[in-house]
Amino acid sequence: MSSTISKTSLVIPAKNEAQSLEILIPAIQKECPELLEIIVVNDGSTDKTEEISRNLGTVVVNHKYSRGNGAAIKSGTRAAKGEYICFMDADGQHKAKSIKRLIDQAGEGVDMVVGARRKNSQAGIFRLMANLFYNWFASTITGFPIVDLTSGLRVVNRKRFMEFLYLLPNGFSYPTTITMAFLRSGYQVGYIYEEISPDRLGKSHISPIKDGLRFLIIIFKIGTLYSPLKVFTPISFSMFLTALSYYLFTFFSYGQLTNMSVILFTTSVIIFLIGLVSEQITALTYMKQEN
């Protein structure tokens, strides 16, 4: 076993996960006694999450009210003392023995190691289809194979992770944001398939219906965070083809250029220019981090 685990802080964001933590934390302590520290971020829980976590000897960071999974990740990161940080969901879906495998790979120089879920490990058909689409879309945008874009189990180099802390949203899309940020900056991202526990006690706080629009926004955020032109150029080109088709139709039918054709042509140019400006802003954002 490498010495990396002794330099690793484990951060667990938790909201009303007392029942799960009562089983999960002892399992982690038994499987990974060399961990530098275990930090539980109590995100405004109304159950005994804080009490149980303290009784089990973990470091507890409290949010007086629920601020979101991403906000809990940021609070845990700021409190962590380790050179590496392992993030883990509190609902019991991840097995304690998975931690060592991820930490070992991180110790070999990988900037972020993600515990990837297999298709049969997804929580429901909606989540499966959504995650498969996210993985495909992100892989297409970046040109890198992304096995699991949204997994909550990952080990990161803390110094690298801190560079992008300001980019992270307070909600559930932090894994998407940090994965794209690491790839955009040329940092190495690795994947290890993990086993999902069938005895998961916690429940997902994500509602497929309520969060459907938010997931669509995340899809566009994936592209615009990494390379906006790869998103805006196809849209602009499609609009241009629509404008050209409509112009040819009206020209041969009525012998004129209509206002609608002009609007469509103008819109295609505007969309492309928005993408171009967004590309420059993205480049400046990551240039700032490199300096």
- pLDDT score for 1: 45
**Token digits of residue 26:** 């002892």
Please report the pLDDT score of residue 89 as a whole number: 93
**C-alpha closest to that of 219 among 190, 176, 183, 262:** 176
Share of the chain above pLDDT 90, in %: 56
- Residue 218's nearest CA partner among 280, 173, 278, 277 is 173
Q: What is the mean pLDDT of residues 61-71?
A: 94
For 70-109, how does the pLDDT look when each residue is reduced to its tens digit (9 = 90+)? 999 999 999 999 999 999 999 888 888 889 999 999 999 8
Into how many domains does the chain fold? 2
**pLDDT value at residue 37:** 97
- The answer to whether residue 186 sits within a structural domain is yes
22 and 139 part of one domain: yes
Assess if residue 218 is contained within a domain.
no
Where do we find the tokens 């990740």?
A: 73
The pLDDT value recorded for residue 134 is: 83
Beta strands in 152-231 (DSSP E): 154-157, 189-193
Q: What is the pLDDT of residue 231?
A: 87
**Does one domain contain both 180 and 234?**
no
Find where tokens 């070992």 sit: 104
Are 179 and 40 within one domain?
Answer: yes
Q: Where are the alpha helices (DSSP H) in 32-124?
A: 49-55, 69-79, 97-106
Same domain for 94 and 170, yes or no, is: yes
256-275: pLDDT as tens digits: 889 999 999 999 999 999 99
Residues 149 and 250 in one domain: no
Contacts of 50 (CB under 8 A, 6+ apart): 40, 42, 60, 62
What is the share, in percent, of the chain residues with pLDDT greater than 70?
88
**pTM for the whole structure:** 0.81
Say if 202 falls within a structural domain.
yes
The mean pLDDT of 121-148, rounded to a whole number, is 80
Q: Which pLDDT score, from 0 to 100, does residue 122 have? A: 56
Do the domain assignments include residue 217?
Answer: no
Query: Which pLDDT belongs to residue 198?
Result: 54
Q: Is the dihedral of CA 216, 191, 278, 289 positive or negative?
A: positive
User: According to the model, what pLDDT value does residue 285 have?
Assistant: 74
Instruction: Determine the pLDDT at residue 205.
Output: 52
pLDDT in tens, 181-239: 899 888 999 999 887 765 555 555 555 555 556 666 777 777 887 888 888 999 999 99
Q: What confidence score (pLDDT) does residue 40 get?
A: 97
Sequence-distant (6+) residues with CB within 8 A of 119 are 128, 132
Q: What is the predicted pLDDT for the residue at 206?
A: 54
Q: What is the extent of the structural domain holding 95?
A: 3-207
Q: Tell me, what CATH number does 102's domain have?
A: 3.90.550.10
Are residues 192 and 232 located together in one domain of the fold? no
* Lowest-pLDDT range of 60-64, 124-128, 246-250: 124-128
Task: Say yes or no to pLDDT of 138 above 90.
Answer: no
- The pairing of strands 112-116 and 154-157 is antiparallel
